[in-house]
Each structure stands twice: as C-alpha cells, then as structure tokens.
C-alpha cells in the first residue's frame, strides 16, 4: 500500500501540529491541530498464513466481515478503525481467551514526525528481528507516529460461541473451565463465554454448572479500571461494576484513582517522545502516561 | 581512583567478582560461534547488587553484558572489548505463584523447564519451550523473546511476560508493565522483551502460566517429497486449525535422529511431520480426523498416532535431541534461524539444498514448520581448511533467500552479532533509525551490551536499501 499521500498530509517538522482521527469512536478529534486520516482498505487476506494486511483507516467491522468469509477474525475490539483500536491498545472482554490486542500487531508502516514512512516488525507470525517497535506503537495513542498500514495476526472463528451464566463463585468457575474466552462478574452473577466444539462447550458448561445466557452483560461504560487480577476478590463495591476475572479490567460507573508515574518511568517516556517526535507535533495534548 | 574490580568487590563481595584467566575464558562466548573477551565476571544475587554493578560500570565507562546460561545462538551474550559479564545465574528463585490467576514471580536465572516442573502439580506450565529449555534461563528468554515448538498456538515469550522489574542502564530500578492488564503509559514491557540486554537488566519477572491441556494427541506423518509435507502444513492452517505444534524434519536429520534414539522413525521418507493438537476431547477428535485426511490428501505414506504418553515422549525426544544426534555425523554445526511465509517453505527449502550443494556442505532441516520458522543446519568439520568461509557464504545466501521471499531475519534466536550486519536486508535506514531511537531512550549511556543488534551507521547508510515510496 502506498503511503506517499498520507505522509504528505502529515508533513514534516515545519508543518505544525497534526492530529490523527479514525471514526472518532474512541475520544474524537483533538482541537487546535490539523487533522489527518490514515488510508483504509484491505490489501490482502492470507488465511494459510493467518495474516491480514490493511490500511489503518479500515473499519474493524469491515475487516472482520471480510475475514469471516475465510473463517477467521482479528481480536480487535469492534467498532472504530484498526488504527484507532491499536493506538488506544485496549482489548475487549475476550482478552482472557484471545490475548491482549498488543499481540495482534505483526508489522506496521507508520508516518513519523519527520514525515518519513517507517516500518516496524515483520510480516510473519514469528519474528525477533531487532527491537520490538510494534509493542511500543500499540497504546501510544498516536504520540510516536501515525499508523498507515498494518499486518495483523488472525485467528480461526470458533464453530460455537456461547455465553453462559451462574451464581457460583467466579473463581471456582474460572478454575473449573478449560480456557474460557471470557469470565465476567458483577458481584453476584458470573458470566462465561465458551467457544469450540459444540459437545465440548456443552460438557464444560455442565461441569461448571452454567446455564445459557442471552449474551454478555451490559458493561458500565463510563470508566475502565485496571487492577491486578488477584485484587478483584476484594472489590467490596460501591456502584455497579463488571470485572474481567483472570484479567483485571473492571468496567465501572465511578472513576479510577488517579495514577502517579514513577520519576524514572516518566523520564523514559520523555526521552522516547523526544526521540520520535522532538517538536511535539504529533497529537499534541495527548499523554499516554499519567502525570 | 579505585579500579572497577575494587568497586565491584566492595559492592557485592570479593568472591563474587572473578578475574582469573580460566574463569574469564569460560565467559568469552555463548553457544554461538563468536568469541569475545571478558575483563571481569560477576555474580550479583539481588536487585540492589545488580544496580550497584551497573552503577560501577557506568562510573568507569565500562560496557557490560548480562548473561543467563549462555545458550544463545546469535552472540548476544558474547562480551566484546573486555566487557564486564554480569551473570544472573545465581538469581534463580521462584518467588511466588498465584495459581488462581495463573501468574508467577521469578528471578531471571531460573531455568525455563524448572519453572514448568515447579508448577506442574497445579496443572500449569510456562508455554515458551525452546529446545534448550532444560538449560536456558527465563531471563535469557526475555532478552531474546524466545520461541519453541509450542509457540505456534501459544505465542512467543512476549505473550507470557506480564511485568518486569528492571535496572535501567542509568541505574534506576523500575517496573515495566504490571500485574494489572493496562498499565499506565507506553508498553515498555513489550519494548523490553527481545531487547537482547541493550535496554537494561531484568531482575524480577512476572510470567503468565498456561493451563495444561486435558487431552493431547501427537501424530507423525511421512512423505516422499518435502513439498508434500510443507503443503500439508499450509493446508492444516488454512482449514482453521492451529495445532499446538507442527514440526518437520528432512531425511538426513531423520536418519541421524533415528540412529541416535531408535524411535522407529521412517528413515526412507524425504520428510517427516510431527503434529500435536491439544484441548478438549471432542474438538480434538475432530481435529485429528481432519488433519489425518489433509495429510492423506497430500500423500502421507503412513499415519502414526502416539498411543500413550511414552510414545509421545519418544516422538518429541526425536525432535528435541536432533542437534545432539548430529554430532555423530560431523563435529561442528552452524544453525540458522529465519522465518518465511508458510506457502514459501517448499521453494525456500529447495534453495537451501541447492545452496548447500553448491558450497559442498551437508545440510539438515529440522524446523517449526507451522510458523514457517526454518532451522537449516550446516554440518561440517572445522578442521577442514577453508570450510568456515563456505559455511558463512552459504549462511548468508540462506538469509538472503528467506528475506527475498518476504521472510524475516530471525524467528527466535535474535540478531545479536550474528545477524547484525544483515539488518539492512530487512530494514531501511529510517526503520533502523527508529530502532536506534528506542535504544538511545532506554540506554543513554550506550554501555548495556553495545554494538549488538544494530548495524554500525556506515553499513546502514546504504541508500540502495531504501524501498521505493519511502520518504527520505
């Protein structure tokens, strides 16, 4: 995919502040900066390589529709663009089974602060050639470079995917099940998403005393806490929540305690930002690290 | 002014700072063919001691190299220019296990297989399983982002590292990542894994543990043509299955292994394919049937399904001891490690055979076919005059062929010294500069394992490597 035009839009260090927008499903456009958008479109789907190559501006839903035709999917949260999902780096509630979103990115071509197209990673599912710049890009919120096109690892779609629920203790449920895709808990009810062969799903559900559920519970969408999974048990909660057991994401209606970054970690972030965007022109005002 | 040796001895004790010629010579190299030179070898036992050692090195402007068991194959732990070797081998404790949430805190010197053994009674294991897992450390796995046969389904080391306590090159002790799923800021944990000792030294590691599968099936197929085996691999993946492992061996390798372990392997086949699937029983039964049908459609001569754990262990022993078996043929070998798209495997294997033949070298292939991760093994006797030139020339051609078909330089061994100067084959100037920027940010001192991974600026300044369309 050609990024010449996108790189031209981003421009170089003398072209002022610039912000990137996808479909504005994850926070919307930054005020005060020129706004650019990455190209969309699927370049290739290679089911026997378990990879897909697409523009960062491609809608996640469009990508998954196209992949469903070959029995595969990407484990990116639905809605918005591929680039937006990667730049935010937040996984959805299937993280327990599918792994975090950061592991889905194999290769990225991004436009740097100087307007150059830079490649990170490689096109194969296994690759340790050089430093792992892809990990740094996922969750960097467009502060190090703007994703142009990417190669993602795909996974096979399960033949059966079914939500169940129970009033049993969520840790007992979690310990009983073999690799559930998701275990959620709201303080009284436990939900589990099971995938695989229909008979295995039925047997697992019976083993853990699960009953069929209509679907996933509604998530309190206002705030997302990130806590060590070992501390979830002590969620003696005020306000409604849905916790991801075995993961530690808690969807809550009240806001999380502000975090304070360690001084050496803050200094390292500052050095990285300086190296990748010395004039602070990419997504100004966005700061991945709490200060 | 005190000497570095004196400072180190004051910091961590005289007997854990060694400068004797015999000991230094033991630490001149790792398991690669590169030999360097160490000036001091030290053995810290705590995070604070690692910090003291790094600070002393910085004070004396002395480069240092962290080292686990020294099983690395790319020269990543080879000390250059009299670097201080910091051995983490004595920091080998399993600190805590959270069985409920399947995480464990360990020290970097803990051996990979020892962790899996220690949590086996909980029905858990550490998924990355390099062939050296009996002797390699998890700190080394972190440095190299190591793989192994079971990484096809489970992912490489990076996917199993939750958090790292690291002493940064300027001496600060920090936590990268965390037990919580979305730690604040950039994914420094992810950036650190695979940084080959150039971003600091990990002193505590929080790993993710994986549930043992309730059922496992291991199958062996054999083919008259290598291509048929390789195509079977692609067809299995394209059919929507991700087996736990898909390993292939060619004829020469199979013969060497069979002579060594007598597992009843078919020595007249051009290639054998080991396929392992695991999971719940019904899905597994389905997958075994589909895989056998695919293998038969691609002309497998026989279908062998391991009947019990003993037979399964024997088949795996064949795979994991392949390198030992080779010593029976020639005293030396050079193991390569590249990844190519799966569908290019037959084409690249033919190139590998042709290259070896042209350089009059024996070559065996034993590799992670499911990942497209090739491990051509050039076998030779280094006492033969001029042979090393041929070995290196053939190796470079294999790397070039892999890149030319859309592959990558290394799947699991890393870049180290071995592939450093090949980096421009895969990365343009701007790409390498971005990696150099990571290094500068993590290590402003440039003393942590210097001159590895990144080619010198002269060799990466070659504008001919910049692809069309790039902005320069």
Q: What is the pLDDT of residues B52-85, one digit of tens each?
A: 999 999 999 999 999 999 999 999 999 998 999 9
Which of B144, B178, B211 lies at the terminal end of a domain, its last residue? B211
- Same-domain check for residues A146 and A164: no
- Same-domain check for residues B235 and B298: yes
Contact B88, B66 (CB under 8 A): yes
- Same-domain check for residues A134 and A208: no
| CATH classification of the domain holding B20 | 3.30.43.10
pLDDT for the residue numbered B467 = 32
Per-10-residue mean pLDDT for chain A, 291 residues long?
95 94 74 90 95 98 97 94 96 96 97 98 94 98 97 96 96 97 95 98 98 94 91 77 96 88 97 97 92 75
Which of A121, A156, A191 lies at the terminal end of a domain, its last residue? A156
Q: Measured between alpha carbons, how far is B390 from B395 in angstroms, rounded to an integer?
A: 8
- Same-domain check for residues B185 and B256: no
**What is the chain B residue with the closest CA to A245?**
B101
- Same-domain check for residues A168 and A92: no
Rg over alpha carbons for chain B, rounded to the nearest Å, is: 23
B320 three-class SS = helix
Which of B318, B340, B371 lies at the terminal end of a domain, its last residue? B318
Residue B270 has pLDDT above 70, yes or no: yes
Neighboring chain A residues of B209 at a CB cutoff of 8 Å: none
- Residue A161 phi/psi, 5° resolution? -140, 115
Q: Measured between alpha carbons, how far is A26 from A60 in angstroms, rounded to an integer?
A: 13
Task: Give the minimum alpha-carbon distance from B428 to chain A in angstroms, rounded to a whole number.
Answer: 8
Neighboring chain B residues of A53 at a CB cutoff of 8 Å: none
| Percent of residues, chain B, with pLDDT higher than 90 | 85
- Same-domain check for residues A243 and A149: no
**What is the chain B residue with the closest CA to A122?**
B408
Close Cβ partners of B145 (under 8 Å, ≥ 6 residues apart): A128, A132, B156, B157, B158, B193, B194, B412, B414
pLDDT for the residue numbered B458 = 40
- Same-domain check for residues A183 and A81: no
Residue B289 has pLDDT above 50, yes or no: yes
pLDDT for the residue numbered A29 = 66
Distance of CA B138 to the CA centre of its chain: 11
- Same-domain check for residues A28 and A95: yes
Indicate whether B472 belongs to any domain: no
Q: Which of B127, B176, B180 would you mutate first to test chain A, the one with the most A CBs within 10 A?
A: B180
Residue B471 has pLDDT above 50, yes or no: no
Contact (CB<8Å) A123/B158: no
- Same-domain check for residues A140 and A221: no
- Same-domain check for residues B188 and B251: no
Q: What is the mean pLDDT of residues B303-317?
A: 91
Which of A111, A134, A156 lies at the terminal end of a domain, its last residue? A156
pLDDT for the residue numbered A239 = 65
Q: What's B194's DSSP letter?
A: T
Indicate whether B467 belongs to any domain: no
Residue owning tokens 């996640």: A60
Close Cβ partners of A25 (under 8 Å, ≥ 6 residues apart): A79, A80, A81, A84
Give residue-wise pLDDT tens across range B406-434. 999 999 999 999 999 999 999 999 999 99
- Same-domain check for residues B140 and B197: yes
| CATH classification of the domain holding B172 | 3.30.465.10
Q: How many structural domains comprise chain A?
A: 2
Which of B177, B211, B245 lies at the terminal end of a domain, its last residue? B211
Q: Which domain holds residue B386?
A: 330-445
Q: Which domain holds residue A214?
A: 160-252
- Same-domain check for residues B355 and B308: no
Q: Chains A and B: how many Cβ contacts under 8 Å?
A: 258
- Same-domain check for residues A184 and A149: no
Q: What is the mean pLDDT of residues B183-207?
A: 98
| CATH classification of the domain holding B365 | 3.30.70.2740
**Pick from B348, B306, B305, B458: nearest CA to A124:** B348
- Same-domain check for residues A86 and A214: no
Indicate whether B462 belongs to any domain: no
Q: Which tokens sit at A130?
A: 């050089």
| CATH classification of the domain holding A59 | 3.30.465.10
Q: Measured between alpha carbons, how far is B36 from B19 in angstroms, rounded to an integer?
A: 15
Burial B335-369 (b: 16+ CB within 10 A, else e): bbbbbbbbbbbbebbebbeebbeebebebbbbbbb
- Same-domain check for residues B388 and B351: yes
User: What would the 3-class secondary structure string for B282-317 be?
Assistant: HHHHHHHHHHHHHHHHCCCCCEEECCCHHHHHHHHH
| CATH classification of the domain holding B232 | 3.30.70.3450
- Same-domain check for residues B351 and B437: yes
Task: Give the minimum alpha-carbon distance from A38 to chain B in angstroms, rounded to a whole number.
Answer: 16
- Same-domain check for residues B240 and B142: no
Is the pTM above the cut of 0.90? yes
Q: How many structural domains comprise chain B?
A: 4
Angle CA(B37)–CA(B41)–CA(B44) in degrees, nearest 5? 150
Q: Measured between alpha carbons, how far is B362 from B364 in angstroms, rounded to an integer?
A: 7
- Same-domain check for residues B219 and B313: yes
- Same-domain check for residues B144 and B245: no
Indicate whether A15 belongs to any domain: yes
- Same-domain check for residues B339 and B377: yes
Which of A156, A182, A212 lies at the terminal end of a domain, its last residue? A156
Q: Measured between alpha carbons, how far is B229 from B472 in angstroms, rounded to an integer?
A: 43
With bands split at pLDDT 50, 70 and 90, how would you rate the model's confidence at B466? very low
Task: Give the minimum alpha-carbon distance from B328 to chain A in angstroms, rounded to a whole number.
Answer: 31
Give residue-wise pLDDT tens across range B120-169. 999 999 999 998 899 999 999 999 999 988 888 999 999 999 999 999 99
Indicate whether B231 belongs to any domain: yes
- Same-domain check for residues A64 and A52: yes
């Amino acid at each position: 995919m050609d990024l010449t035009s996108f790189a031209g839009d981003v421009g170089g260090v003398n072209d002022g502040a610039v912000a990137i927008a996808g479909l504005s499903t994850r926070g919307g456009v930054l005020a005060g900066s020129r706004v650019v958008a990455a190209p969309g479109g699927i370049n290739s789907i290679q089911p026997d390589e378990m990879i897909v190559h697409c523009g960062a501006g491609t809608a996640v839903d469009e990508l998954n529709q196209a992949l469903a035709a070959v029995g595969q999917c990407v484990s990116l949260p639905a809605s918005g663009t591929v680039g937006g999902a990667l730049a935010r780096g937040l996984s959805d509630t299937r993280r327990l089974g599918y792994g975090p979103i950061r592991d889905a990115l194999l290769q990225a071509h991004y436009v740097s602060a100087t307007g150059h197209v830079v490649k990170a990673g490689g096109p194969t599912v296994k690759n340790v050639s050089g430093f792992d710049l892809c990990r740094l890009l996922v969750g960097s919120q467009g502060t190090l470079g703007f994703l142009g096109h990417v190669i993602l690892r795909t996974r096979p779609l399960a033949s059966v995917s079914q939500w169940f629920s129970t009033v049993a203790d969520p840790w007992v449920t979690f310990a009983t099940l073999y690799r559930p895709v998701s275990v959620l808990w709201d303080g009284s009810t436990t939900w589990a998403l099971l995938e695989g062969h229909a008979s295995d799903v039925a047997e697992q559900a019976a083993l853990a005393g699960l009953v069929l559920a209509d679907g996933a519970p509604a998530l309190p969408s206002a705030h997302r806490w990130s806590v060590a999974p070992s501390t979830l048990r002590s969620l003696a909660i005020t306000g409604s929540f849905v916790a991801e057991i075995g993961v530690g994401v808690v969807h809550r209606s009240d806001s999380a305690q502000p975090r304070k970054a360690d001084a050496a970690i803050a200094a390292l972030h500052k050095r990285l930002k300086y190296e990748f965007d010395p004039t602070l022109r990419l997504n100004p005002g966005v700061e991945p690290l709490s200060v | 002014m005190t000497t570095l040796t004196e400072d180190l001895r004051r910091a961590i004790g005289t007997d854990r700072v060694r400068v004797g010629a015999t000991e230094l010579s033991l630490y001149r190299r790792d398991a690669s063919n590169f030999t360097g030179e160490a000036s001091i070898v030290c053995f810290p036992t705590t995070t604070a001691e690692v910090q003291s050692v790094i600070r002393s090195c910085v004070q004396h402007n002395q480069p240092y190299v962290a080292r686990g068991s020294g099983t690395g194959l790319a020269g990543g732990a080879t000390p250059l220019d009299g670097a201080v070797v910091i051995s983490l081998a004595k920091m080998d404790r399993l600190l805590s296990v959270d069985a409920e949430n399947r995480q464990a805190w360990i020290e970097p010197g803990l051996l990979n297989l020892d962790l899996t053994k220690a949590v086996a009674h909980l029905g858990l294991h550490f998924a990355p399983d390099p062939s050296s897992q009996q002797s390699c450390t998890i700190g080394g796995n972190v440095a190299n982002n190591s793989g192994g046969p079971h990484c096809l389904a489970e992912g490489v080391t990076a996917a199993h590292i939750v958090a790292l306590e690291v002493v940064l090159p300027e001496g600060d002790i920090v936590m990268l990542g965390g037990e919580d799923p979305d730690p604040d800021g950039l994914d420094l944990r992810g950036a650190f894994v695979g940084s080959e000792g150039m971003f600091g030294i990990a002193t505590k590691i929080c790993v993710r543990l994986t549930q043992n599968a309730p059922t496992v099936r291991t199958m062996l197929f054999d083919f008259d043509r290598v291509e048929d085996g390789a195509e079977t691999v692609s067809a299995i993946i394209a059919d929507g299955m991700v087996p736990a492992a898909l390993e292939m061996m060619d004829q020469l390798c199979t013969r060497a292994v069979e002579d060594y372990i007598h597992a009843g392997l078919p020595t007249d086949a051009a290639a054998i394919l080991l396929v392992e699937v695991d999971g719940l029983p019904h899905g597994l039964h389905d997958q075994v049937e589909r895989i056998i049908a695919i293998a038969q459609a691609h002309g497998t001569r026989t279908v062998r399904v391991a009947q019990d754990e003993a037979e399964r262990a024997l088949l795996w022993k064949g795979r994991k001891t392949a390198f030992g078996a080779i010593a029976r043929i020639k005293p030396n070998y050079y193991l390569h490690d590249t990844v190519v798209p799966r569908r290019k495997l037959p084409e690249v294997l033919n190139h590998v055979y042709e290259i070896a033949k042209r350089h009059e070298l024996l070559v065996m292939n034993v590799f992670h076919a499911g990942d497209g991760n090739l491990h051509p093994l050039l076998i030779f006797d280094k006492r033969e005059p001029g042979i090393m030139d041929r070995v290196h020339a053939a190796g470079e051609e294999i790397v070039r062929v892999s890149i030319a078909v859309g592959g990558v330089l290394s799947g699991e061994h890393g870049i180290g010294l071995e592939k450093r100067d090949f980096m421009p084959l895969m990365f343009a100037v701007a790409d390498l500069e971005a990696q150099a920027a990571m290094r500068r940010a993590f290590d402003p001192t440039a003393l942590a394992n210097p001159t590895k991974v990144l080619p010198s600026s002269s060799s990466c300044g070659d504008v001919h490597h910049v692809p069309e369309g790039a902005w320069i």
